[in-house]
C-alpha cells in the first residue's frame, strides 16, 4: 500500500511538472515545495535547535489577509557571517517575505506598488562560539552596540538577499540612519528589549530576469512590467528591530521588520511580529 501511494505521488508530481512548467502556478508551487523541506533541514541545524530554545513567529497564514508567504523559513550561515564580522559566530535567520501574486507568479517582494515591496520580517539569532558569554550587539554594561548589531541586517541584505537575485557585488548599497532607540521595552511577553527604528537606503529587487538565480526559487522571477531599464535602483525603506541578549542561552535575538513605509511596519509589527513567542 505504501509503495502504491509513493507511485501515485510520483505520477502526480510528474504530471504537475508537465502541465504547469513555466506557468505562474508552477513558480508558486515550486517555491513552496522546495523551500518547506529545505527550511525544515536548516531549522534542525539552527542555533535554536542546538540550544533547545523555541522561537515561534507567525507566518502568512496567521492573518485572514493575503499578505505574507504562508510559512516562516530558516537559514543558517555561520562561516560566512563569521568571516564578515571577524569573530567565530553562529547565525540563524528566520524570515518571511511578501505573498505570491497569482497574476505574475512572483512574490509581491518585487512589486513597487505593494506594501510588501522589498519587505521582510523575522528574527536574527546570533551566538559567539569562542566566547559564549560575549553579548553580540551589546557592550559588557548592557548598552546597545549599534554598530555591531547593524552588521546582521547589512550582511543579510548585501551578502545573502541581493546576490541571490543577481545584483552585482559592486552595485550593492546599504546605508542605515538610526531614527530612534528605546530601552527597557516590553515585547513578546518579556522585558528589557531595545527597540531601534531606522531609515535604510538600499537596492530594490527590480531587474530584468537573469538565468540561474537561486533567489528565484523563493520569490519567483522579477515582474517584467516594473523593469524600466534600471537594474536594482536605490530606494528608501523603513526598518524596526527589537534586540535582547538572552543570558540563560548566551544568544542575542533581534526581531526585525523591513518595509517601504512606517505604516506597514506598525501594522504588521502589531498584527504579526509582536505575536511571536520565545519558548524556553
Banded pLDDT at 139 (limits 50, 70, 90): very high
Q: Write down the pTM of the prediction.
A: 0.91
Q: Is the pLDDT of residue 15 over 80?
A: no
Mean pLDDT of 132-158: 96
Task: Look at residue 6 in the predicted model and tell me its pLDDT.
Answer: 56
Task: Give residue 20's pLDDT band: very low, low, confident or very high (50, 70, 90).
Answer: low
Q: Minimal CA–CA distance to 74: which of 45, 53, 114?
A: 45
The answer to whether the beta carbons of residues 96 and 120 sit under 8 Å apart is: yes
Mean pLDDT of 136-155: 96
Per-residue cell: 86: 571577524
Place of cell 564578515: 84
Cα–Cα dist 210/214, whole Å: 10
- Judge contact between 154 and 148, C-beta under 8 A: no
Say whether pLDDT at 34 is over 70.
yes
Instruction: Indicate the average pLDDT of the chain.
Output: 93
pLDDT at 83: 98
**Res. 184: pLDDT tops 60:** yes
pLDDT category of residue 10 using cuts at 50, 70 and 90? low
DSSP 216-254: HHHH-SPPGGG--S-SS-EEEEEEEEEEEEEGGGTEEEE
The whole-number pLDDT of residue 26 equals 83
Question: What does the pLDDT look like over 50-100, one tens digit per residue?
Answer: 999 999 999 999 998 999 999 999 999 999 999 999 999 999 999 999 999
Q: 231 — phi, psi (to 5°)? A: -90, 130
212: which DSSP letter? S
- Note the helical H segments in 97-248: 146-149, 151-155, 162-164, 215-219
Could you tell me which residue, 45 or 2, shows the higher pLDDT? Answer: 45
How would residue 150 be classed by pLDDT, with cut points 50, 70 and 90? very high
Q: What percent of the chain has pLDDT over 70?
A: 92
Q: Give pLDDT, residue 231.
A: 96
Q: pLDDT at position 24, please?
A: 80
Residue 106: alpha-carbon gap to chain centroid: 17
Least reliable range by pLDDT among 15-29, 68-82, 131-145, 204-218: 15-29
What is the pLDDT at residue 4? 54
Query: Which region, left, alpha or beta, applies to residue 24 given φ > 0 means left and ψ of -120 to 50 means alpha?
Result: alpha
- For 22, the grid coordinates are 513555466
What is the pLDDT confidence band of residue 102, given thresholds at 50, 70 and 90? confident
Q: What is the pLDDT of residue 58?
A: 98
203, three cell numbers: 537596492
Beta bridge partners of 96: 121
The Cα angle at residue 277 between residues 217 and 272, in degrees rounded to 5? 60
| CA neighbor of 239 nearest in space, from 202, 211, 275, 197 | 197
pLDDT tens profile 201-258: 999 999 999 988 999 999 999 988 999 889 999 999 999 999 999 999 999 999 999 9
Amino acid at each position: 500500500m505504501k509503495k502504491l501511494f509513493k507511485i501515485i505521488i510520483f505520477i502526480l508530481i510528474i504530471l504537475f511538472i508537465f502541465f504547469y512548467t513555466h506557468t505562474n502556478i508552477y513558480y508558486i508551487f515550486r517555491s513552496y515545495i522546495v523551500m518547506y523541506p529545505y527550511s525544515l533541514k536548516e531549522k534542525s541545524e539552527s542555533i535554536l535547535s542546538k540550544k533547545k530554545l523555541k522561537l515561534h513567529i507567525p507566518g502568512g497564514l496567521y492573518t485572514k489577509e493575503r499578505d505574507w508567504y504562508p510559512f516562516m523559513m530558516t537559514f543558517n550561515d555561520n562561516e560566512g557571517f563569521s568571516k564578515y564580522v571577524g569573530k567565530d559566530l553562529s547565525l540563524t535567520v528566520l524570515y518571511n517575505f511578501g505573498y505570491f501574486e497569482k497574476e505574475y507568479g512572483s512574490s509581491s517582494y518585487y512589486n513597487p506598488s505593494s506594501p510588501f515591496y522589498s519587505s521582510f520580517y523575522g528574527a536574527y539569532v546570533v551566538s559567539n562560539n569562542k566566547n559564549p558569554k560575549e553579548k553580540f550587539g551589546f557592550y559588557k554594561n548592557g548598552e546597545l552596540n549599534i554598530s555591531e548589531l547593524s552588521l546582521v541586517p547589512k550582511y543579510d541584505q548585501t551578502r545573502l538577499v541581493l546576490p541571490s537575485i543577481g545584483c552585482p557585488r559592486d552595485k550593492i548599497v546599504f546605508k542605515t540612519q538610526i531614527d530612534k532607540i528605546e530601552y527597557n521595552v516590553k515585547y513578546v511577553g518579556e522585558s528589557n528589549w531595545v527597540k531601534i527604528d531606522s531609515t535604510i537606503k538600499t537596492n530594490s529587487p527590480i531587474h530584468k530576469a537573469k538565468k540561474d538565480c537561486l533567489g528565484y526559487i523563493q520569490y519567483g522571477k522579477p515582474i517584467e512590467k516594473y523593469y524600466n531599464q534600471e537594474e536594482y535602483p536605490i530606494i528608501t525603506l523603513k526598518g524596526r528591530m527589537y534586540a535582547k541578549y538572552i543570558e540563560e542561552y548566551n544568544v542575542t535575538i533581534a526581531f526585525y521588520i523591513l518595509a517601504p513605509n512606517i505604516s506597514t511596519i506598525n501594522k504588521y509589527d502589531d498584527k504579526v511580529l509582536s505575536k511571536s513567542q520565545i519558548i524556553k
